[in-house]
Amino acid sequence: MDLFSQLNNVEHEEILALRQELEQANYQYYVLNAPTMSDYDFDQKLRRLQDLEALHPDMFDANSPTQHVGSDLIGAKGERLKAKGTEKGKGFEQVTHRYPMLSLSNSYSQEEIADWLRKLPANVEIVCELKYDGLSISLWYENGILTKALTRGDGVKGDNVVANIRTITSIPQCLPITDTRYPIPAFVELRGEVLLSWEAFERLNKEREAQEEQLFANPRNAASGTLKLQDPNEVARRGLDCYLYYMLGDNLPANTHYDRLQIAKAWGFPISDSVKVCHNLEEVMEYIAYWDVERKNLPVATDGIVLKVNNIAQQEELGYTAKSPRWAIAYKFPAEKQLTRLNAITYQVGRTGVVTPVANLEPVQLSGTIVQRATLHNEDFIRQLDIREGDMVWVEKGGEIIPKIVSVEPRTRNQEPRPISNDRTDEGDKSLLLAPYSIFPKNCPECGTPLVRVEGEAAWRCPNEASCPPQIKGKMEHFVSRKAMNIDGLGSETIDLLYSQGLLHNIADIYALQQEDIARQERLGEKSAQNMLTGIEQSKQVPWARVLFALGIRMVGETTAKKIARRFPSIDQLQWATLEQLTAIDDVGEQIAKNIITYFNSLSNLEIINRLRQAGVQMESQEEEQAPQSDILQGKSIVVSGVFAHHSRDEYKSMIEAHGGKNVGSVSKKTSFILAGENMGPEKRKKAEALGVSILTEEEFLLMLNNE
């Protein structure tokens, strides 16, 4: 083969490999909300692919990532998300966009911006805007009323998430149709970005941490997960935000982009005050330089600047490529990156015994803060980066507040490569693997117990639940937390103190605390002792479902605990529950069921439960919780379907049970009626109509309960 053909072959393969890699990255980013590639790397690879495709037109493929935007579609079934176990996203109506939702071409240097400007007609006006880092949304207003809110989806079709969008208070539900200065067109579409503020993001992550749920990497991922939730009440609680940046439709007022945004503002839309018309490269650069600094004071994440040709006629002349408009371009701020030394890896033990490796870094300035610690997540992460103590590492802080180690700088490594041992011993339980010596400690750094790793899980754990100090303290902290037993006056510092004094060893000891034991402590005194004891006394009224959550059984979060408590109204019943009975409960999978069974197999746990019971902690539902509120739905089989505004779907199901009814999953001849929210599945509707089963709105249903 000649040299030319060889090169050709290599490039063909590179094209195929890049397509696959970028497709995978799109999927991770848009569907799973768990990006694996930085935006910068993605754009570099996409460019390389574009260049190669231009050199090899014979390789054209309409499915190449250069020809379409990534897809976040969930659609009516939501299978992809469900299969991966991310936040549930099923049952959204899919709607074809009136105008395809395109992306923007990105640039990372001022030269590229200058090049783009140079190619535009002379004296063109440029609108500069902030590039908000959330997810795009398209709002449809028909005769002034908000009727649909579509995600970008695959650019052609999107998911209608209007029920969730209605929870954003700054988005108008209807427009001022009496406005005579700027009459509202029969149809108008506003596009913008939905986001979660830094504050809301941090609050949400704190809650998730307390409940041992996976943390969101950044506000964008959190907003994306939130927008795809089925429960608008939960969406409302999380507090999404929105900025709009584009108006579309026929017969729109004004013929510049800027004026349209100002009209939209007059109609009540949230339009950013940062939008500015610039007339030359200098003004554009000034805008970029100003916002590169000032954006750090904004309540929401931004990742660049968007430049748009102001005049709509000029926009139309410039037109579009397959993926993006030629009349707009994004300038992305570079993620801040620093090189620093990894001084040591230490290991932290959490409440459930998970051992997390932590990088202790030579302190370094990054985006205005000093960074000296970063998580290394787990053993696999260390292996993937091939990271070793003493290495120089790149630390990045982009859209995320949490700094992360992105790579090792290979040129600075002067040690001998240290082989990673793969020795694993299969003694005893085959599902547990012993930690290999060289990469991860074999024993718990806190209590010395040999670590175990359950097959299929990334984490090494210390199995010494009963006496490993951070596990005991962590369990007590969880037990007293607000959503669990809510014991005021007993925070983590006090727990630490009382533990070190030998007064607390486990959660049951909390109820054995005596006034004089506490008051004797230097930092506490009489008053704190009294507050604490009152808090402890009040916790005896906490209902059984929350007590179950407070016990801290692995993976039994607040909602799961409620569902389990409903099925098993006392701990005595739960203690003997079988795997089959447990997995029959909504939301309880095999792993959770096994964790519950393991929990009750431990003698020390049984002893703790006994002591809690003797102390007066609620170990069963009170009669009024169990007793039906009425029998108005007695003998009725009811299907609950769709998205609701007043209560969550689960709340409606509980209401049905509390009024004597039965929840069923699918529509049949025996179905009494369907309680239907927004976006009820079209199949269900068809079947109901065919069988003559009546469909009630949530308002009709609530009225029915109130009228009994």
Our finding on whether 227 is near ligand IVH (CB under 6 A) is no
Q: Which is nearer to ligand IVH, 191 or 647 (CB)?
A: 191
C-beta of 157 vs 546, nearer to ligand IVH: 157
Write down the least CB distance from residue 200 to ligand IVH, Å.
18
Quick one: how far is CA 477 from the chain centroid? 24
Contact in structure between 462 and 471 (CB atoms under 8 Å): yes
Closest-CA residue to 418 (of 397, 437, 446, 441): 437
Nearer to ligand IVH, 46 or 330 (CB): 330
Per the rule left: phi > 0, alpha: psi between -120 and 50, beta: everything else, 457 is beta
The Cβ of residue 265 has, within 10 Å, a number of other Cβ atoms equal to 15
- Among the listed ranges 102-110, 120-128, 451-459, 563-571, the one in contact with ligand IVH (CB under 6 A) is 102-110
Closer of 160 and 471 to ligand IVH (Cβ):
160
Quick one: which of 248, 224, 226, 223 has its CA closest to 235? Answer: 226
Place of tokens 């209590």: 447
* Among the residue ranges 126-134, 554-562, 613-621, 671-679, the one whose residues contact ligand IVH (CB under 6 A): 126-134
Q: For the CB of residue 99, give the shortest distance to ligand IVH in the complex, in Å.
A: 9
Considering only 29, 42, 92, 132, the residue that binds ligand IVH (CB under 6 A) is 132
| 193 interacts with ligand IVH by CB under 6 A | yes
Contact between 547 and ligand IVH by CB under 6 A: the answer reads no
Measure the CA–CA gap between 108 and 115, rounded to whole angstroms. 12
Contact between 107 and 331 (Cβ < 8 Å): yes
Q: How far is the CB of 135 from ligand IVH (least distance, A)?
A: 6
226 in contact with ligand IVH (CB under 6 A)? no
DSSP track, 489-541: T--HHHHHHHHHTTS-SSGGGGGG--HHHHHTSTTTHHHHHHHHHHHHHHGGG
Q: What is the spatial distance between Cα 528 and Cα 533, in angstroms, rounded to a whole number?
A: 9
Contact yes or no for 436/421 (Cβ under 8 A): yes
Residue 574 sits in the site that holds ligand IVH (CB under 6 A): no
Q: Which of residues 244-263 bind ligand IVH (CB under 6 A)?
A: 245-246
Encoded amino acid at 429, one letter: D
* Cα 272 from Cα 269, distance rounded (Å): 10
With contacts defined by CB under 6 A, name the span among 11-19, 131-139, 603-611, 661-669 that binds ligand IVH. 131-139
User: Least CB distance from residue 306 to ligand IVH, whole Å?
Assistant: 4
Active site residue 206: no
Q: Taking a C-beta distance cutoff of 8 angstroms, is the pair 330, 104 a contact?
A: yes
Closest approach, Cβ 330 to ligand IVH, in A, equals 6
In eight-state DSSP terms, residue 214 is: P
43 or 657, CB closer to ligand IVH?
43
Based on the shown chain and the rule CB under 6 A, indicate whether residue 330 belongs to the binding site for ligand IVH: yes
CB 249 within 8 A of CB 188: yes
- What one-character-per-residue DSSP string does 603-666 give? HHHHHHHHHHHHHT---B--HHHHS-S--TTTT-EEEEESB-SSS-HHHHHHHHHHTT-EE-SS
Q: Is 136 in the site for ligand IVH (CB under 6 A)?
A: yes
Stretch that binds ligand IVH, among 100-108, 220-228, 540-548, 556-564 (CB under 6 A): 100-108
Among residues 204, 328, 608, 688, which is the contact residue for ligand IVH, using CB under 6 A?
328
Two structure tokens written together for 444:
């718990």
Structure tokens at 557: 């979060």
Q: In terms of CB distance, is 30 or 132 closer to ligand IVH?
A: 132
**Displacement of CA 74 from its chain's centroid (Å):** 15
Q: Count residues contacting ligand IVH (CB under 6 A)?
A: 14
Q: Which of 8, 38, 103, 663 binds ligand IVH (CB under 6 A)?
A: 103
Q: Which positions from 55 to 94 touch ligand IVH by CB under 6 A, shown as an x/- string?
A: ----------------------------------------
CB of 86 within 8 A of CB of 253? no
161 is a contact residue toward ligand IVH (CB under 6 A)? no
In the complex, the smallest distance separating the C-beta of residue 27 from ligand IVH, rounded to whole angstroms, is: 17
Closest separation in Å from C-beta 265 to ligand IVH: 14
Residue 102 interacting with ligand IVH (CB under 6 A): yes
Amino acid at 294: E
| Residue with the shortest CB distance to ligand IVH | 136
Closest CB 423 distance from ligand IVH, rounded Å: 47
196 three-state secondary structure: strand
From the list 131, 148, 562, 684, the catalytic residue is: 131
Given the complex with ligand IVH, which of 30 and 141 has the nearer CB atom? 30
Sole window of 33-41, 211-219, 325-333, 624-632 interacting with ligand IVH (rule: CB under 6 A): 325-333
Give the chain's count of helices (H) and strands (E): 26, 23
Under the rule (CB under 6 A), what is the footprint of ligand IVH?
Answer: 102-104, 129, 131-132, 136, 193, 245-246, 306, 325, 328, 330
Which positions are annotated as active-site residues? 131
